[in-house]
Amino acid sequence: MDSKQLEAFDSHVAGEGKVEPKDWMPDNYRQTLIRQISQHAHSEIIGMQPEGNWISRAPSLRRKMILLAKVQDEAGHGLYLYSAAETLGVSRGEMDQALLSGKAKYSSIFNYPTLTWADAVAIGWLVDGAAITNQIPLCRCSYGPYARAMVRVCKEEAFHQRQGFEGMMALAKGTSEQKAMAQGALDRWWWPSIAMFGPPDDDSPHSAQSMAWKIKRFSNDELRQKFIDMAVIQAQALGLEIPDPDLKLNEETGHWQTGPIDWDEFWAVVKGKGPCNRQRMTHRRKAHDEGAWVREAAMAFANKQQQKSEKAAA
Amino acid sequence: MDAVIATALRFGDNAMVLGQRLGRWVSRSPTIELDVGFANQALDLIGQANLFYELAGRLEGKGRSADDLAFLRGADEYYNVQLVEQPNGDFAQTVMRQVLYAAYADIVFDFMAKGSNDDLAAIAAKGQKEMAYHFRHAGEWVIRLGDGTEESHARSQKALDFLWPWSHELFAYDAVDEKMVRQDVLPDAETIKKQWMESLGEVFERAGLIINEDGWQPGGGREGVHSEHLSYLLTEMQVLPRTYPGTQW
Ligand SMILES: [Fe+2]
Ligand SMILES: [Fe+2]
């Protein structure tokens, strides 16, 4: 590697310069971004499943339309992010293969089940809420295509979060059965949501380099804290109880402090032992396998059309 | 039942049931682009159902909301054509069902949008644009599959053979429809059937598919007579409002 090139790159990035696809970049920078962006895309795709689980049973026409529109957005985010990753020289086929083979990861939170309607709503409130907290700083990411993708994605995630909160409010202010449903969802999704920010800072191998490269702007723990402070206030507004007996406001810092996060559970789910890891992967592979003949047909048709137009031109 | 209310319910139910069917593809499609497409089309259809139901509820004057009409009627009170309740099957069957229905709805809504009933015209004007798009999208897929691989061709011909009998019901007008024709709300059955055959004929020709007419013409959806499939579809769709009556969501 040319040390002058590297120096120039580092100072460009340190000065908040943007990196574009054709620019020279260190291989590690490229690989880090490919991993992060494709993982993000895979999360959008797998994330369609737990919410999609309630499309057929959404309890009103309005809720069904909101949910369909949201899941449609998530699929769109996946496509948009795959395109951003492709600008780094990885192909869509390689990324699909990495997800299907289990080599690539996706956000572990989607390995939890949506057992009631309230779970599907709570995903909008908490998971989209956590996603925005993570992604707003990514709008300033040093890699241009990712930063631009995030600007659009964040707008939609913010909309999902508001709708999720509104949906939770309808349940929390509803009948006693609805309120119990909402509380049950918060009980199930609270800890996975705050674990979504990843391991604590002293146990986060990739963080320092990503900070220096302006891919990451805040540490996992800083982002987690931002989210907790926001979510606690919102849970109070809903009249729901956060399932953490140790939760308290730290008067000095003004931040909400939680009890210990169960990192053993987090790592177990990351390593495939969550309630739905196998189900999510089986579902994705089944969709992929059952669609193979359709994709082949589309390709065969496109080839025939091309041959026809070449013949006509000749 | 008043003919305008009946018509609103019939088209609302067609859209509701077909939207419910398409929504099932989301996260299960052959490509992510198709996941987006199916979600989008399901959304269009449920939007149409919502508008037709609001109108039906308002005209009926019994205080039934769009949600009441969607979630609290049983299969024998649903008036959709049986075509739209047929199972998704494989992708070939789903796009075939879509092209058969969308071609029809496109033509009917185009007429209804210029017709004498302003309420229905407003809904149809929006719906026509959507169904024209669904027809184009599904039609392109039927052509692609028909003229793709041997397997995709065989699956498409099978889908057409399976679904074709239910297409007849689209044109099986009853007294309500005839009244709507006289009032210049619906086009007459002969006219739409001719236009429909023209639209589809072109698609099938490019796809290399043939219509095998075997004389079976199931029907009765307009009067609430359905195949076994509809009750399952509604049971799943209605589970929450039925379990928790009177609850707002
Ligand atoms: Fe998203
Ligand atoms: Fe979202």
Q: What are B112-138's pLDDT values in tens digits?
A: 999 999 999 999 999 999 999 999 999
For the cut 70, the answer to whether the pLDDT of residue A300 exceeds it is yes
Nearest to B164, CA basis, from B218, B228, B225, B105: B218
B249 assigned to some structural domain: no
Tokens 């909101």 sit at which residue? A66
How many angstroms does the Cα of residue A139 sit away from the middle of ligand 1? 14
Taking only the tens place, the pLDDT of each residue in B17-73 is 999 999 999 999 999 999 999 999 999 999 999 999 999 999 999 999 999 999 999
Phi then psi for residue A122, to 5 deg, are -65, -30
Alpha helix positions (H), chain A: 3-14, 27-52, 61-86, 92-101, 117-122, 128-135, 144-172, 176-195, 207-212, 220-238, 263-268, 277-290, 292-313
Nearest to A170 among B35, B47, B248 (CB): B248
> Contact, A130 vs A196, CB < 8 A?
yes
pLDDT at position A2 is 76
Section A275-284 average pLDDT: 98
**In this structure, is residue B184 part of a structural domain?**
yes
Kindly report, residue by residue over A81-117, the tens digit of the pLDDT: 999 999 999 999 999 999 999 999 999 999 999 999 9
Beta strands in B182-231 (DSSP E): none
Whether B23 maps to a domain, the answer reads yes
Q: What is the pLDDT of residue A314?
A: 80
Kindly state the DSSP code that residue B220 receives in the 8-state scheme.
Answer: -
Whether pLDDT at A55 is above 80: yes
Test the A interface: residue of B13, B88, B236, B249 with most A CBs within 10 Å: B249
Q: What residue of B is the nearest CA neighbor of A304?
A: B148
Tell me how many domains chain B contains: 1
The CA distances from residue A237 to A229, A242, A266, B225, in Å, are: 13, 12, 28, 48
Is residue B147 situated within a structural domain? yes
Give chain A's mean pLDDT.
96
The complex scores an ipTM of 0.98
Q: How far is the C-alpha of A299 from the C-alpha of B148, rounded, in Å?
A: 8
Task: Output the CA torsion sign for A106, A107, A111, A117.
Answer: negative
Q: pLDDT digits over B68-109, tens only?
A: 999 999 999 999 999 999 999 999 999 999 999 999 999 999
CATH number, position B72: 1.20.1260.10
Q: Is the confidence at residue A313, as pLDDT, over 90?
A: no
Strand partners of residue A19: A143
Q: Read off the tokens for A303.
A: 């080839």
What residues does A248 pair with on adjacent strands?
Answer: A257
CA nearest to B147 within chain A:
A301
Q: What one-character-per-residue DSSP string does A4-60 give?
A: HHHHHHHHHHHTT--B-TTS---HHHHHHHHHHHHHHHHHHHHHHHHHHTTTTT-SS
Is B151 strand, coil or helix? helix
CA B104/CA B166 separation, integer angstroms: 13
Q: List, for residues A154-195, the tens digit of each pLDDT value.
A: 999 999 999 999 999 999 999 999 999 999 999 999 999 999
Q: What is the pLDDT of residue A202?
A: 86
Name the one residue in this structure whose structure tokens are 């957005």: A73
Overall pTM surpassing 0.90 (yes/no): yes
Contact between A25 and A9 (Cβ < 8 Å): yes
CA of A73 to the centre of ligand 1 (A): 7
Phi, psi of A174 (to 5 degrees): -90, -150
pLDDT at A1: 57
Report the SS3 class of residue A167: helix
Could you read off the pLDDT of A70-91 as tens digits, one per residue?
A: 999 999 999 999 999 999 999 9
Residue B54 maps to a domain: yes
Is residue B160 in some structural domain? Answer: yes
Question: CA of A57 to nearest chain B CA: how many angstroms apart?
Answer: 5
Taking residues A274-299, report their average pLDDT: 98
Question: Domain range holding B182?
Answer: 3-243
A78 contact residues in B (CB cutoff 8 A):
32
Do the beta carbons of residue A20 and residue A144 sit within 8 Å? yes
CB B49 within 8 A of CB B62: no
Task: Provide mean pLDDT across the span A285-289.
Answer: 98
Is residue B183 in a domain? yes
Nearest ligand to the CA atom of A128: 2
Whether B248 is in a domain gets the answer no
Nearest in space to A236 (alpha carbons), one of A181, A176, A169: A169
Q: How far is the CA of A22 from the centre of ligand 2 (A)?
A: 30
Contact yes or no for B27 and A64 at CB 8 A: no
Which tokens hold the place of A104? 């690539």
Instruction: Please state, in angstroms and rounded to a whole number, the distance separating the CA atoms of residues A47 and A52.
Output: 8
Q: CB A75 to CB B49 under 8 A? A: no
Mean pLDDT of A6-19: 94
